[in-house]
Amino acid sequence: MNKTAAGQQFIMKRKSREKSKKNYWVAGDSPQKRVGIHCCLIVACIFVLYPVSRIITVSLRPLSTLLTTDLRIIPPNATMENYIKLFTDHSFLLWLWNSLIIAVGTILLSLLLSTTAAYAFARWKLPGYRLALIFLLTTQMLPAGMLLLPIYIVVVRLNLYNTYLGMIFAYACTAIPFNIWLLRGYFLSIPRELEEAALVDGATIIQSFTRVLLPLSTPALAIAGLFSFMTCWNEFMMARVMLQRPAVRTWTLALERMQGQFSTQWGLLAAASFIVAVPVALVFLAASKYMVSGLTLGGMKE
pLDDT digits (tens, 9 = 90+) for 6-31: 555 555 656 555 555 444 444 456 78
Asked if 95 and 125 sit in the same domain, the reply is yes
Contact partners, residue 227, CB within 8 Å, separation at least 6: 175, 178, 179, 182
Residues 159 and 43 in one domain: no
Radius of gyration of the chain (CA): 24
Does residue 111 share a domain with residue 74?
no
Query: Which candidate, 215, 245, 230, places its Cα nearest to that of 175?
Result: 230
Do both 226 and 274 map to the same domain?
A: yes
Task: Give the per-residue pLDDT at 99.
Answer: 92
- Residue 103 is predicted with a pLDDT of 93
Please indicate, yes or no, if residue 107 is contained in any of the structural domains.
Answer: yes
User: 63-67, 136-140, 170-174, 254-258 — which one is most confidently predicted on average?
Assistant: 170-174
How confident is the model at residue 109, as a pLDDT?
94
Number of compact structural domains in the chain: 2
**Which residue has better confidence, 30 or 242?**
242
Q: Are residues 148 and 68 in the same domain?
A: no
Beta bridge partners, 264, equal 259
Residue span of the structural domain in which 35 resides: 29-79
46: Cα within 13 Å, side-chain hemisphere? 6
**pLDDT-derived band at 144, boundaries 50, 70, 90:** confident
Same domain, 69 and 214: no
Please tell me the distance from the alpha carbon of residue 227 to that of residue 160, in angstroms, as a whole number: 24
The model's pTM: 0.79
CATH number, domain at 232?
1.10.3720.10
CA distance 234 to 248: 15
- Is 201 a residue whose pLDDT tops 50? yes
pLDDT at residue 278 in the model: 86
Give how far Cα 232 sits from Cα of 180, 200, 235, 268, Å: 18, 42, 5, 22
Same domain, 61 and 158: no
What average pLDDT score do residues 110-122 get?
A: 91
Q: Quickly list DSSP for 169-215.
A: HHHHHHHHHHHHHHHHHHHHTS-HHHHHHHHHTT--HHHHIIIIIHH
Does the residue 75 lie in any domain? yes
Q: 3-state class of 257 per DSSP?
A: helix
Confidence check: pLDDT of 187 > 80: yes
216 and 272 part of one domain: yes
Chain-wide mean pLDDT for the chain?
81
* More reliable by pLDDT, 265 or 152: 152
Question: Is residue 302 one of the residues assigned to a domain?
Answer: no
- The predicted pLDDT at position 18 comes to 55
Q: Are residues 59 and 126 in the same domain?
A: no
33 vs 241: CA distance, rounded Å: 51
Same-domain pairing of 198 and 59:
no
Among 57, 79, 101, where does a domain finish? 79
| DSSP 8-state class, residue 74 | S
Position 174 in a domain: yes
In a domain, 255, yes or no: yes
Cα–Cα distances in angstroms (integers) from residue 192 to residues 117, 263, 294, 295, 297, in the given order: 17, 62, 19, 21, 16
* CB of 115 closer than 8 Å to CB of 137: no
Same domain as 97, residue 52: no
Instruction: Confirm whether 102 is domain-assigned.
Output: yes
* Dist CA 184 CA 182 (whole Å): 6
pLDDT exceeds 60 at position 233: yes
Question: Is 139 within a domain?
Answer: yes
The answer to whether position 274 is within a domain reads: yes
| Same domain, yes or no: 116 and 44 | no
Of the candidate ranges 35-49, 76-90, 153-167, the one whose mean pLDDT is the lowest: 76-90
